[in-house]
Structure 1
Amino acid sequence: MKDFKLLYKTEVIDMKKWKAAGLITVAGACVIAIVWGLHGRTKNNAKLLQLDEQVSDDSVIYVALGDSITYGYSLEHAENERFSARIVAYMKQQGMQVVECNQGVNGQLSGDMWQNIKKGKVDLLDHADYVTFCIGTNDALLPFEFFVMQYEDYFYGYSGAGDDSLLWGKINKKTFIRDFEEADRSAEDNLNRFYNNLSDSIDLIRKDSPDCRIAIMTLYNPYRNMDYEISAGGITVNIGQYAEEKISQANTIIRTVCKEKNVVLADCYEAFASSNDIVLNNQNAENYIDPDDHPTAVGQQLIADVFIEALFTK
């Protein structure tokens, strides 16, 4: 068992509230990636020089903004398999001379992204012709995922256990409820800032690139089939249902921003919910329990297909 407060510090999440256990979910995987040095800007001198050398008067600049999904976390060949690369492949098939600038950052929240844009830390964004957003999953679920990490054995070993079960001889009910309520408040705080972070990011982009075509994807629920739950003190915490509630809140904000800002909506939520393919890594695991709930290569292709249809065929 690891204590992530020794590994991870952030102004957004106070890790003193959540001790991490063995489960590494979207948030947990992002934390490990951050610790290994992947957190922060993808920009460095060598990469920027390489990008500049690719740009010509005929170039179409595509910037992909987002979190670990955009980055291509867990993919064997991320530079070719992540959705931004697949969008670029399609654009090139249409005869465009495209320069891809993937600015996905593992563990990124919408506030981090907005700050990076505001401070001019996103490569080529001031010359972008196309921009895609994949952001909000960490805002909606990061606090809850740390809560689940702390109580994973109880969720997965005693699903459906209630107040009268032997389970509660091993756990403090008041602590469990307090930790859940704190996680929920933190998620609500994130989501209360999500609208402004997303809306202001779009305004900043259009200030420098007024003709830029922007698309935002709705978020899939990484736990859509996970029915593990615990009831205590009159509340029931169901992993799949809770995640659905928060993802729904985030998607409502995304749809609102798209409508208000005249931004293209790429509805990946519906695409993932209706897919019969293995689109998430955790779908490969027995009993649907697996630490990696990022998209598979098939899932990344699905995201690309939704963006392509929204941007180029509608």
Structure 2
Amino acid sequence: MKKLFQLLIAVFLVLALGTPSVSAEHNHGKDLLVSLGDSVPYGYNLGKNNNHPSKAAFPYLIGEKADLRVRNLSAYGLQTSDLLTAIKTNKKYQKAIHHADYITITIGGNDFIEILRAANAESGGDPELFKFLIQQKLSTSKAFNNLAEIINEIRTLSDAPIVLYNMYNPFQTNDPLHNIANLFLPQVNATFAELAHSFNDVHIADAYSAFGSNQEKYVLPQDIHPTKAGQKKLAKIGIKAFHVEHVTHH
């Protein structure tokens, strides 16, 4: 597996270097990866404090492996509506996206957790009602529309390849919410995949399958954020998703 990964990186590098970017002069000779999203690409809880994005977060790991400059514009607590507003109104975001050669999006986890919390509170401990309420709240959630609008807005600024991360199960296997999440995340992630396929050059990094039931290894204990090993895994599937794009388009 390791050899395959190194081979993928080598191929990715050749392809990346073989296609000089128009905006190379802005990027000091290196292509630019712009990371948009929430606390996952921020690398939340990986360092002593959370004052700035962690260098152990997957965008920086992709940057190291593929020799890219990284602009990490993710922020903890962001929901899809927040990211949409930032892209529509914030010049810093717009400028970064405009200059990007590669873009990652990791958003939706906070929307989903809010749905879980609300359903849990309203169900009063009735498991069947809890499941029903999650289903109901998912079907009326604006998250998917927001996500479509986010990609649409990005496409008005940039035609750079986009990797959209789907949602991993953030709950440890011994947490009752683990099985609940597994009931609904495949459906959520199927919608992510449909969205990605409806745009040009948007590819899914399948975090859900990559993490599987290895939360003990990939998710921090008593937390929902990735461990350093989890971040490495996210970097690996991100590079692979960009690599697929290059193979199919060049």
Matched ranges for 1:1-314 at <5 A:
55-56=26-27, 58-76=29-47, 78-92=53-67, 98-121=68-91, 122=93, 124-145=96-117, 175-176=124-125, 180=130, 185-190=136-141, 193-210=142-159, 212-223=160-171, 225-226=173-174, 228=176, 239-262=177-200, 263-273=202-212, 275=214, 278-282=217-221, 290=222, 292-312=223-243
Distance in 1 of aligned mates of 2:216 and 2:87: 35
Distance in 1 of aligned mates of 2:193 and 2:27: 35
Q: CA RMSD in A?
A: 2.9
User: Which whole-Å deviations, capped at 9, do the CAs of 1:263-292 have from their partners, x for residues lacking one?
Assistant: 11111111100658711112xxxxxxx2x1
Amino acid in the other structure paired with 1:102: N
How far did 1:182 drift?
Answer: 6.3
Q: Which runs of 5+ in 2 are unaligned?
A: 1-24
Distance in 2 of aligned mates of 1:174 and 1:66: 30
Give me the TM-score of the superposition, normalised by structure 1. Answer: 0.60
How far did 1:141 drift?
Answer: 2.1
Distance 1:57 1:207, change over 3 A: farther
Distance 1:101 1:56, change over 3 A: closer
Q: For 2:45, what is the secondary structure of its paired residue?
A: coil
Distance in 1 of aligned mates of 2:185 and 2:34: 24
Distance 1:184 1:264, change over 3 A: closer
Distance 1:227 1:279, change over 3 A: closer
Q: Which runs of 5+ in 1 are unaligned?
A: 1-53, 93-97, 151-172, 229-238, 283-289
Amino acid in the other structure paired with 1:99: R
Amino acid in the other structure paired with 1:194: A
Distance 1:176 1:103, change over 3 A: same
How far did 1:125 drift?
Answer: 1.3
The aligned residue for residue 160 of structure 1 is none
Give me the TM-score of the superposition, normalised by structure 2. Answer: 0.74
User: Which whole-Å deviations, capped at 9, do the CAs of 1:20-65 have from their partners, x for residues lacking one?
Assistant: xxxxxxxxxxxxxxxxxxxxxxxxxxxxxxxxxx944634221111
Larger Rg belongs to: 1
Residues 142 and 187 in structure 1, CA contact (< 8 A), matched pair in contact too: no
Residues 139 and 187 in structure 1, CA contact (< 8 A), matched pair in contact too: no
Residues 217 and 268 in structure 1, CA contact (< 8 A), matched pair in contact too: yes
How far did 1:256 drift?
Answer: 0.4
Q: Would you say how many aligned residue pairs link Structure 1 and Structure 2? A: 212
